[in-house]
Structure 1
């Protein structure tokens, strides 16, 4: 069991350190330092702390390296609001113009990606891509969805206000605050970059979406480009605002330099994956449990402690439900209690149920891209059920097993007198390989076989064994 535990924790640690063989960073330039170039940053997958740190650092490096422009290539389902705001702030503060580009074909800039695209001075999309569905999801899992818009504006004709009946119909004031704040954010970005603010509000209020051609016709993006060369060619000569000053783009035929994540961003990307954070948390818990059951082995405790701390660090960066975390801890505690308290599986079954429910509730599934793999949860739940079944089987086997010690076992033992015993007298006998003081109501010679019929402290009450008992004639 201990060796199996070592394998599990070693695998978890190796997975967390997978960055050792991931692709190298782009710290070293791919073109001469004095050559003109455009920096490309690929933002793929959910937007979280790791993605924000990568994009922010890459924008700063591109500014320091003297890039003519930055292409922020998007393919994201959305993500966390705070991470999105960090990226938007760095885009607006960049001295080098940022060109938002939804690519390749089939990609999307949904939810938080729509805000980021609106923040870029130039917005473009590849064919067969889409954007929108930017309605914020509150951390409690609810989605504020007001009445649909009419012609891109609320029925009241005002962009950010609602009538008294509509406001009264909103179940929670906090949801209204989150929604109105998101609307104000995307409208301000649209007005700054001179794009369709009415549709931007509709994407937040009504989760509207657009394809690339529809976005171009509604002035949501600047143009459609099939590849990055076409993007740079169409952007060439345009005047945009970067860090509150006009900049004329000179991007036609310029070399593209990729800026890839550094080791820290890759490490954060690994541990902030909800499934990885979930597995690190479990590895830490079970590592410490193994150390408690096998004190002095050290390896499970050390690895478990490291995994637990990394998992907790990842959890504080993710949208976690603490009710789910407490349920998971309760489930583990009940499973451990089942091993010490014979409840015929009541505590164990309750522990499995609490553990599974806590795992499902651990991450708020309303945030795009932040879900634990259901197969992983199902596998761990099945393992817990199998372990519980094995534990109950061992308990039932122990209850049916023959008694091997105590008074009940002593009454079944036979022995041999080491000296003769007078009627009602006492003497010594060998019983169960041990010397005992015995008393017998009948006189028996030395060497006679006797059977124990009672015990009074350290004195055994015996009588002559029947034929066939204890090797007697």
Structure 2
């Protein structure tokens, strides 16, 4: 009897918390804003997505923001700005890796992990979040260094960046309740998984082929601290980039920046060769400044930019100094090395200059330099057509006997002349051999 009473008491005590547990909070979603973004994560993208989150939380904003993301990665500072806005949002911000074939790599992984609702379209992938030090130049002591196991030894700075990134993504995933182990492996080992694997691993919440399916599956889903979502045919609006943001996004593309740099150099070359044309100088100056803005925004290596500028100086010097091509060769080497050093990491960071763009720019600048050098050489070799030097080779008429000195008429002017050899009679036709000040030397034709 006592045993049954004790068991009943324990059972009642265990059921009491469940009976009095607070009901799950419901979050009504009557309106949705979708903000599509495709491209590397830069300050421009941080501004755009930050504006989208701020509009979400403003008076009259939607109840849910869906960021349709497709990114190869980008800058750490811009990524952190986006995450700060998302975590501070009073309304849920979902990340939808789409369209099919898209990816959320590098910085995109961090952004996705900061969302209370991560959805992926079929055929997408997420991962490869190992940090890339853009523009970093290894010190001589670090180059080729290996540890005791024969593996390449990382520098202390790389270790610091890696550990910082690992701790950052760990704190984010712990807050949003996602797979901490995988997220850390994505940073340290560059792990990458498909959409199906992401759902199974607890990295993504579910898959959806389009926005309609996403909203349908989101109904009843628990989105972190916001509670269970109630999505019943919400009104959908789009939030697009402004024209200014689209322009700056295009300018800050590394390949476009390199083209602008070369275009600016070509314009300045032409203006320096022939001052007063104005248009090449104006276009060249604007292009050069836009390129510098892009390099500064993308945290390009100062060493890379310096080498490119040195290449332009060498190209200009080739026009002014007869170096038999040595300055041009030096310019080509400096420009190629500078282009390769501008951004380190061809894929993970999503910021690099393609080899095709580098080759096209080097060939283009060399072609402009060669053309201007040819024009200069041709101008130096051209026969003089003005001034007294232009009299050489002209016909002269003897106005007095030349024995060997006398007077001749050249181009309507009377000159003191001297025969190269022999003599001439008054009225003989002669040819100007050489001009010496106000005296000329003539010969028979």
The DSSP-based 3-state class of the residue aligned with 1:336 is helix
Instruction: Choose which of 48, 51, 56 in structure 2 pairs with 1:54.
Output: 48
Instruction: Choose which of 338, 360, 372 in structure 2 pairs with 1:379.
Output: 360
1:188 paired to 2:171: yes
Q: Corresponding residue for 1:82? A: 77
Residues 59-458 of structure 1: pairs in structure 2 closer than 5 A: 59-64=53-58, 65-140=60-135, 170-241=153-224, 246-366=226-346, 368-390=349-371, 415-421=396-402, 426-431=405-410, 434-439=413-418, 445-449=425-429, 458=438
Structure 1: tracts of 5 or more residues without a match: 1-34, 144-163
The 2-side partners of 1:104 and 1:217 are apart by: 20
Query: Contact (CA 8 Å) 1:138, 1:175: kept in 2 or not?
Result: yes
The DSSP-based 3-state class of the residue aligned with 1:369 is coil
Post-superposition CA distance 1:384-433 (Å, at most 9, x none): 34445545656776787778899999887763322235x57x53223576
The 2-side partners of 1:112 and 1:118 are apart by: 10
Post-superposition CA distance 1:299-344 (Å, at most 9, x none): 3333333333222222211131222222222222222222222222
Distance 1:428 1:365, change over 3 A: farther
The 2-side partners of 1:398 and 1:305 are apart by: 27
Equivalent pairs counted in the alignment come to 405
Post-superposition CA distance 1:16-53 (Å, at most 9, x none): xxxxxxxxxxxxxxxxxxx9211112121211112111
Report deviation, 1:90: 0.7
Q: Corresponding residue for 2:8? A: none
Post-superposition CA distance 1:240-278 (Å, at most 9, x none): 446xxx444222432322111122321221211122222
Q: Corresponding residue for 2:31? A: 37
- Length-normalised TM-score, structure 2: 0.79
Distance 1:443 1:207, change over 3 A: closer
Q: Corresponding residue for 1:14? A: none
The 2-side partners of 1:49 and 1:397 are apart by: 48
Structure 2: tracts of 5 or more residues without a match: 1-28, 139-146
Report deviation, 1:172: 1.5
The 1-side partners of 2:83 and 2:163 are apart by: 18
Distance 1:383 1:314, change over 3 A: closer
The DSSP-based 3-state class of the residue aligned with 2:69 is strand
State which drifts further: 285-294 or 309-318: 285-294
The DSSP-based 3-state class of the residue aligned with 1:36 is strand
The 1-side partners of 2:269 and 2:384 are apart by: 31
Query: Contact (CA 8 Å) 1:344, 1:392: kept in 2 or not?
Result: no
Query: Contact (CA 8 Å) 1:280, 1:307: kept in 2 or not?
Result: yes
The 1-side partners of 2:376 and 2:72 are apart by: 49
Distance 1:404 1:237, change over 3 A: closer
The DSSP-based 3-state class of the residue aligned with 1:249 is strand
The 2-side partners of 1:303 and 1:330 are apart by: 21
The 1-side partners of 2:399 and 2:154 are apart by: 90
Query: Contact (CA 8 Å) 2:395, 2:410: kept in 1 or not?
Result: yes
Distance 1:403 1:301, change over 3 A: closer
The 1-side partners of 2:358 and 2:36 are apart by: 30
Report deviation, 1:118: 0.6
Post-superposition CA distance 1:31-82 (Å, at most 9, x none): xxxx921111212121111211111101111222331211122221111111
The 1-side partners of 2:196 and 2:319 are apart by: 63
Post-superposition CA distance 1:205-236 (Å, at most 9, x none): 11111222222222222223333233223322
Query: Contact (CA 8 Å) 1:179, 1:205: kept in 2 or not?
Result: yes
Query: Contact (CA 8 Å) 2:105, 2:128: kept in 1 or not?
Result: yes
Query: Contact (CA 8 Å) 2:220, 2:230: kept in 1 or not?
Result: yes
